[in-house]
């Protein structure tokens, strides 16, 4: 996907990835290294990337071209963010780009007093991404995304050229978490599936919602990694009056019941977010349960998140129509049907 020609490019060669993915692309390096390259980018409509190193008092973003230190490259405030129907842009949406990669199109080049001045538009790049890429998506499509920031209710992810989508906390995994940071971190590159889309009268998406839990495996796929009699590591996700829920993988948790020997003594150590070692007592597919015995609970300096292991469609496909988490014959059914509305 990234092996693009660096000569004779047109706007059709543009690839709409989360910001930061094009910085080291050969085409990007070539076109931002010389006046001729910038002119080629302007004439072809190429989408490029650079790092914003400054936001001035007029809210203009200044972009760094390492190979052209004499160039003054600016994204005017009015060109910093794409909005529909001329909606206003909050200053924070511009300020938070400083120090980060931003995409843009070259819209003007001028020589003033021996200095190269380059005008850029992030808004134009995002508008093209919206029209040529996001409008082609449908629920069930699997796409790359980058985590940009998190709130209690979910994470916001960049799904192309800095355009944001919501990954709600309940869509992150089947295993329950209290906050997106239990699973994600800012800047993380992930795979996501389009959960739903809300369309405007202009034929463009108003809102796009994504999910990751459908890409992290079914109950059986996750449970197949474990056997009764093993002692394994996990993370305590919930402490209830009747037991302690321990996450074994992002889409699988088991219950350590309070009546088991040793639980009472570990009560003070069994805190949400702590690592734990657990003995697997039994695995019950028909009840979709894993019974555990809590051996130990402890703090650890490393990130509390367990790594993602994606279970993608066979044959390398990038779309799913439906997903069934529950084993065949299980009383409780957890499933997702992706429908265009």
183-240: pLDDT as tens digits:
999 999 999 999 999 999 888 999 999 999 999 999 999 999 999 999 999 999 988 8
Q: What is the pLDDT of residue 7?
A: 37
CB atoms within 10 A of CB 85: 6
pLDDT band at 8 (very low <50, low <70, confident <90, very high): very low
The dihedral built from the CA positions of residue 266, 268, 269 and 273, taken in this order, carries a sign that is positive
The predicted-structure confidence for 57-81, as pLDDT tens digits, reads as follows 999 999 999 999 889 999 999 999 9
The pTM assigned to this predicted structure is 0.88
Q: Which of 134, 9, 149 is nearest to 82 (CA)?
A: 134
Distance from the Cα of residue 127 to its chain's centroid: 20
Q: What is the pLDDT of residue 5?
A: 33
Mean pLDDT of 94-120: 93
The predicted-structure confidence for 21-57, as pLDDT tens digits, reads as follows 999 999 999 999 999 999 999 999 999 999 999 999 9
Q: What's the CA gap between 186 and 148, in Å, rounded? A: 5
Q: What's the CA gap between 254 and 5, in Å, rounded? A: 50
Q: What's the CA gap between 215 and 193, in Å, rounded? A: 8
Better-scored residue on pLDDT, 144 or 266: 144
Q: What is the pLDDT of residue 9?
A: 45
Q: What is the pLDDT of residue 273?
A: 87
Q: Which of 185, 178, 153, 184 is nearest to 273 (CA)?
A: 178
Q: What is the pLDDT of residue 318?
A: 93
Q: What's the CA gap between 236 and 304, in Å, rounded? A: 10
Question: Is the pLDDT confidence value at 241 over 90?
Answer: no
> How high is the mean pLDDT of the chain?
89
Better-scored residue on pLDDT, 1 or 285: 285
Q: What is the pLDDT of residue 88?
A: 85
Q: What is the pLDDT of residue 306?
A: 67
Q: What's the CA gap between 185 and 207, in Å, rounded? A: 23
pLDDT band at 176 (very low <50, low <70, confident <90, very high): confident
CA within 13 Å, CB half, 198: 6
The dihedral built from the CA positions of residue 22, 24, 25 and 30, taken in this order, carries a sign that is positive
Better-scored residue on pLDDT, 11 or 93: 93
The predicted-structure confidence for 120-169, as pLDDT tens digits, reads as follows 999 999 999 999 999 999 999 999 999 999 999 999 999 999 999 999 99
**Phi (first) and psi of residue 312, to 5 degrees:** -100, 165
Question: Is the pLDDT confidence value at 266 over 80?
Answer: no
Q: Which domains does the chain possess?
A: 11-130 (2.40.50.140), 137-216+314-341 (2.40.50.140), 219-298 (2.40.50.140)
- Rounded percentage of the chain residues whose pLDDT exceeds 70: 91
> 259 burial class (0-12, 13-18, 19+ CB within 10 angstroms)?
exposed
């Amino acid at each position: 996907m990234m092996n693009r020609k660096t000569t004779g490019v047109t706007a059709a060669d543009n690839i709409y990835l989360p910001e930061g993915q094009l910085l080291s692309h050969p085409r990007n390096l070539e076109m931002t290294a010389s006046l001729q390259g910038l002119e080629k980018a302007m004439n072809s409509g190429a989408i490029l990337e650079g790092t914003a190193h400054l936001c001035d008092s007029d809210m203009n973003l200044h972009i760094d071209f390492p190979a052209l230190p004499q160039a003054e490259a600016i994204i005017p405030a009015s060109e910093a963010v794409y909005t529909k129907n001329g909606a206003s842009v909050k200053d924070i949406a511009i300020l938070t780009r400083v120090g980060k990669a931003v995409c843009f199109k070259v819209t003007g080049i001028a020589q003033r007093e021996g200095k190269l001045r380059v005008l850029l538009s992030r808004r134009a790049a995002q508008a093209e991404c919206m029209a040529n890429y996001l409008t082609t998506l449908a629920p069930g499509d699997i796409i790359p995304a980058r985590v940009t920031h998190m709130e209690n209710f979910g994470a916001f992810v960049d799904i192309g050229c800095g355009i944001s989508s919501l990954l709600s906390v309940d869509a992150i995994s089947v295993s329950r978490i209290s906050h997106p940071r239990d699973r994600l971190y800012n800047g993380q590159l992930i795979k996501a599936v389009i959960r739903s889309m809300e369309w405007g009268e202009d034929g463009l998406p108003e809102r796009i919602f994504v999910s990751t839990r459908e890409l992290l495996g079914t109950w059986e796929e996750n449970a197949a990694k474990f056997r009764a009699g093993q002692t394994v590591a996990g993370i305590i996700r919930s402490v209830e009056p009747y037991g302690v829920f321990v996450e074994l993988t992002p889409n699988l948790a088991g219950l350590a019941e309070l009546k088991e020997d040793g639980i009472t003594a570990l009560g003070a150590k069994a805190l949400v977010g702590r690592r734990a070692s657990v003995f697997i007592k039994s695995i019950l597919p028909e009840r979709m349960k894993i019974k555990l015995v809590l051996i130990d609970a402890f703090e650890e300096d490393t990130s509390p998140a367990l790594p993602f292991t994606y279970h993608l469609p066979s044959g390398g496909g990038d779309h799913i129509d439906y997903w069934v988490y529950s084993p065949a014959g299980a009383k409780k059914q957890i499933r997702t049907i992706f429908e265009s509305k």
